Structure 1
Amino acid sequence: MKLTSKLIVLGIIENDNGEILISQRFEEELPEVHLKWDLPGGKNEFGESLEETLRREIFEETGLNAEVLNLLPKTISKVWEYADRRQHTVVLCYRCKLIDGQLHLNDRKINDLKWISKEELNSFEFLPSSKEFINNFFENYGN
């Protein structure tokens, strides 16, 4: 069986109102993530720094430019079992600040984008890893 690994970088983007940006996934072929809420981000490509990956993914998915500030003190690591391989996925998350851009859907795997406050968090069904990062963000940076 083939062994693979994947590094995912997510960003919690904060606007001037203290809201964070969330994205709703649209991946019908993956029922465990389809229509769940997530954070912008994606897979680290060969030769990219983590910060470059995150800036690229944020722009591709949302049309926004963000400053990557600092890495959150949390790492998620999981091994996924597939028919043809075992995949070790490591997910990191950075705190980011909105710079500029026009918010719009740029990715066919994203159904919706929303700015939300801390008080609105429980109104959304998040992927478990994103929920952990969001909770960690608010524990460390308040609001």
Structure 2
Amino acid sequence: MVQADLDAAIGAAGLPQGKTEAGYPEGGGAASGEKVQQLAALVTRLSPCVVSWSSDGAREPLDVLLSGLEKRGWESASVKKEAPSGKGGTYFMATYEKQGWTLNARHNSLQRLNQSTVMATEDACFARLTDEELALVEGD
């Protein structure tokens, strides 16, 4: 359902197809060998609970994508916020919910970098995380 909603909203926004992916996005960190192994196992376990999308460029396509998600029943769970992020950049964030999933949308614009990301996570899946697993996911 989540990937279908994202793909439909992407198509309606005229964005390139194939940018959504199921599974936890890969990330690099300065973790120790044991933590890297623990994180890899956790990411594998969480992969069925995550759908993400990212794009480089202006924020307008993200706004169109979010509008498309609203038309597909995603409800805003927070006030959309845009704030300055230093050196003339801005940071935008919004949160949506639908049928036990939470979707976080972000856009960063800094001098030469413009990037949008959307990550939807299944609430029940993440609610089962221990404090230690949550710290691994959050990079603490």
> Do the two structures share a fold, i.e. TM-score over 0.5?
no
TM-score of the superposed pair, with normalisation by structure 2: 0.32
**Larger CA Rg, structure 1 vs 2:** 2
Q: Which has the higher helix share?
A: 2
- Name the structure where strand makes up a greater proportion of residues: 1
Q: Which has the higher contact order (CA 8 A, sep 6+)?
A: 1
